[in-house]
Amino acid sequence: MKSDNIPKFFATLKAANPMPVTELEYTSVFELLTAVLLSAQATDVSVNKATRKLFPVANTPAKILALGLEGLENHIKTIGLYRSKAKHLMQTCQMLIAKHNGVVPRDRAALEALPGVGRKTANVVLNSAFGEATMAVDTHIFRLGNRTGLAPGKTPLEVELKLLKRIPAEYLVDAHHWLILHGRYVCTARNPQCQACQVSQYCAYTDKNSGTTKHGI
């Protein structure tokens, strides 16, 4: 993607959705951290379905620990990999209480030190909860970065660093949400909806079958 087209690309996404937010449901930083931790290799829909039952019962580190491992597993067993996620969440709650007085830290290193919390999860929390200009590269953003030419890279970290460098500052805080939503509903992995894409004019998507270049994502 040409540098001149990047501001236009994001201005168009902003016009269509001025205040984008995550589709995960939460009412506190801890609830967000929990939801993101549970969302690995799972859909937001499935996570929301589970947390709607979990959060009314336990939405703080102390309350999660009070459930016990088996109790927590029973609340989230509809989510993939629920056993390992329950174990990590319990360990995270223990560490939050022991080291952070039960409060989710606003610090990347401290977040990534929590069990089950990697760079992507830390980026989501820093961005969605604290308004920091971070870029959590999931499968959708990784695909968009490469497919559109916005930020080609072989690894999520490479794509992340390129996005942070190329996206204009005025769009950076919300860019994560715009890209995820666009990848989830328009620039899908299979059969991207190029004809319905509002930013197709700024994107060169190569059709590997024909060897021609389409305008679209």
Q: Which residues are catalytic?
A: 120, 138
Q: For the chain, what's the residue count?
A: 217
Distance CA 93, CA 63 (A): 9
Distance CA 31, CA 215 (A): 40
Question: Is the CB of residue 102 less than 8 Å from the CB of residue 60?
Answer: yes
Distance CA 30, CA 96 (A): 10
Question: Is the CB of residue 214 less than 8 Å from the CB of residue 206?
Answer: yes
Which of these, 203, 207, 199, 137, lies nearest to 11 by C-alpha position? 199
Distance CA 65, CA 8 (A): 48
